[in-house]
Amino acid sequence: MPHQDWMIRGPKIAACNCAYGCPCEFNARPTHDVCEGLEAHRIDEGYFGKVRLDGLIVGARYRWPGPVHEGGGVAQGFVDARATPDQRDALVQILSGKEQEPHTPFNIYGATIARELDLIVAPVEFSADMKARTGGFRVPGVMEMSLEPIRNPVTGAEHFAQIRLPNGFEFREAEMASGRFDAEGPDLGMSHRNCYGFLTFVAYGPKGLIA
């Protein structure tokens, strides 16, 4: 059955509790066994069929008890409060992975989730500066993340680093950053400092990552 035609394009930022670089990007186990974090994507240009998605922000927070591919994850998505009902439905379809081919980002992550919490619809603040390696987002009263350059522990100078994955399914190239985040709630409450973070500019569609 053919998938709905859709596309979302724009800056994406994320952070997790792993050490800088994130072992997952190198097919290794998470730094602390449990993998938890959050991410947000600002859609500078996007559509789902005839529904335009330009300017909206979407994201999620998540936790897996071990490596992502072993499953058992808990996740909660959030959608910009500015979205109309049609836009919200479109974004939920995209996040679910049901409108994407197998072995592509949303489909892969969706297959590892054992429990999905109710969608959050709320105002979202978002910023991303690839060159400065700074950014962050905030869902008031629920979660907040900030990114800044990794610092040399001796001199304090900014440490420039990138990850390049020619065959990556989530991104092909990303700027590395130092993450800081907090999230409230009994299911996905978390707090981490000086951990893995990244900024990238990506586009996704039914066939996955668009180069």
Domain region containing 89: 6-209
Residue 194 resides in a domain: yes
Handedness of CA 65, 164, 41, 16 (dihedral sign): positive
Say how many Å lie between the first and final Cα of the chain, rounded. 24
* Domain containing residue 48: CATH number: 2.40.400
Q: What is the pLDDT of residues 141-179, one digit of tens each?
A: 999 999 999 999 999 999 999 999 999 999 999 999 999
* Identity of residue 69: H
Q: Is residue 77 situated within a structural domain?
A: yes
* Residues 48-105 pLDDT 10s: 999 999 999 999 999 999 999 999 999 999 999 999 999 999 999 999 998 999 989 9
Q: How many CB atoms sit inside 10 A of residue 1's CB?
A: 2
Q: Is residue 160 in a domain?
A: yes
Q: Per the structure block, which two tokens stand in for 149?
A: 């350059």
- Rounded CA separation 182/136 (Å): 12
Q: pLDDT tens across 188-202, in order?
A: 999 999 999 999 999
Distance from chain centroid for Cα 34 = 17
The kind and range of the H/E element at 49 are none
Within-domain flag for 189: yes
**Is 1 a domain residue?**
no
Interatomic CA distance for residues 177 and 160, integer angstroms: 8
Q: Tell me the Cα Rg of the chain.
A: 16
Q: Show the DSSP H helices in the chain as ranges.
A: 85-96, 105-111
Dist CA 57 CA 42 (whole Å): 4
As for how many domains the chain has, the answer is: 1
pTM of the predicted protein model: 0.96
Percent above pLDDT 70 for the chain: 99
